Amino acid sequence: MQYISTRGGMQPLPYCETLLEGLAPDGGLAVPEVMPTVDGETLERWRALTYPQLATEVLGLFATDIPREDLARMTAAAYEPFPGAVVPLRELDGGLTLVGLSEGPTLAFKDMAMQFLGQVVEYALERKGSVLNILGATSGDTGSAAEHALRGKDRISVFMLSPQGRMSTFQRAQMFSLDDENIHNIAVDGVFDDCQNLVKKLAGDLDFKRTQHLGAVNSINLARITAQVVYYFWAWLRATDAGGWTEVSFTVPSGNFGNILSGFFAKEMGLPIRRLVLAANENNVLDEFFRTGVYRPRSAAQTLATSSPSMDISKASNLERFIFELVGRDAARVVQVWSDLDTQGYFDFTADLTRFVDEFGIVSGTSTHADRLATIRSVYETSGEVIDPHTADGVKVAREYLEPGVPMLVLETAKPEKFAETIHEAIGVELDYAADLREMLEAPQHVTEMADDEAALRAFIEEHALR
């Protein structure tokens, strides 16, 4: 299996080399040269597998340059930190099923991919005899998941940008309480999109990228996208009966389009998915695109601070991978589309609007603060489950797309403890924290505050990067 760029300017590379690159040299994103496929016989054979075993099988279709025994060792190590079931499925009210993706060390779905990424990046670096300085941006959960997966690793240093004052108290504590020498937290005076733009500028400077050994762990990273594909297969296998070919729908709270893109990959691979339901918050640029065909990112000033902060994103990095498929894998057309975006501030696919649903199965909706409070309250009253605000966005939109006879699976985003203020506002409950979480919340915080300044970030990395 080889990987190419959405913009056509990268020679095909194997999995390990691609995941160390982050952005392709031409500014595009890595995609499989040919999407692997899975048939019904294979799916049935996978029903009896544990989660690490299933991860080995699915990831083995993408990472063909890694010996199977090495891959099995890495998937086992990746999911060992999960104390119980790795991905439990729980029934909610109204025919919905919650796919539990927050059982990992940082209580968020990002652990599902990041724990594997930590294993495979270290493996690739050891094989190459190199080091990597991870430059990333987070709106909340990516940063802590990456730092907890990569802390203390000799060949890796992490520079994580986050927007000042835009994360929850819990999210900040999970990141800033770490004092490992290879972890560098940088709070940028701006919003997530400003952080993401800084990452793209430095990653787009190929000389600086090579000199400083820069890589990425944001959802553009190939290892994250492929590792997330696994839980779509896992959830389908547990929501359906053996021997059947039942279609299911998935609802995915979405900001950067990475999580739902993994579902799109799973559907393209042959998993029987009827609908991929994208749930947005008030920063609903993606919802507008899938409803109207026009993609119009908003400025930092127009990006709202909401009670589902991990989705406070107005420029979805992973959308380019979907556009690549939408235009028939025509890299020149992708380049033109992004040129239009740069020059006029939007691009228009209204002519392809019916294909979003008919061909790709993607629909969407928006949830507001009032919606998520009401959803948290209704789920708690009917099932006793407490869900976090992002998952509530998913449940609210999922209810709009329920179909008779089609199971609706909602991907959980995080544990409610990460957003205690909103939970209290919704249901009046004060959540209890375990002793280790209370200790984390009270620990000294280690963070460098920085202006939205490319030169300052360059200087900081040059001073602290691994060589």
Active-site choice (110, 209, 415, 418):
110
- Sorted by where each begins, the domain ranges of the chain are 89-107+222-427
Q: Comparing C-alpha atoms, which of 360, 423, 359 is closest to residue 391?
A: 423
Instruction: Kindly report, residue by residue over 189-209, the tens digit of the pLDDT.
Output: 999 889 989 998 998 898 999
110 among known catalytic residues: yes
What's residue 139's pLDDT?
Answer: 78
CA distances from 188 to 70, 84, 303 (A): 38, 36, 15
pLDDT at 75: 97
Cα separation, 163 vs 167, in Å, equals 7
Rg (CA), the chain: 21
d(CA 408, CA 405): 9
Instruction: Give the predicted TM-score (pTM) of the model.
Output: 0.92
List, in order, residues 6 or more apart from 225 with CB less than 8 Å away: 113, 219, 258, 261, 262, 265, 318, 321
Tell me what pLDDT residue 22 has. Answer: 73
> Architecture of 89-107+222-427 per CATH?
3-Layer(aba) Sandwich (3.40)
List, for the chain, all residue ranges whose pLDDT scores fall below the cut of 50: none
pLDDT digits (tens, 9 = 90+) for 299-339: 988 999 999 988 999 999 899 999 999 999 999 999 999 99
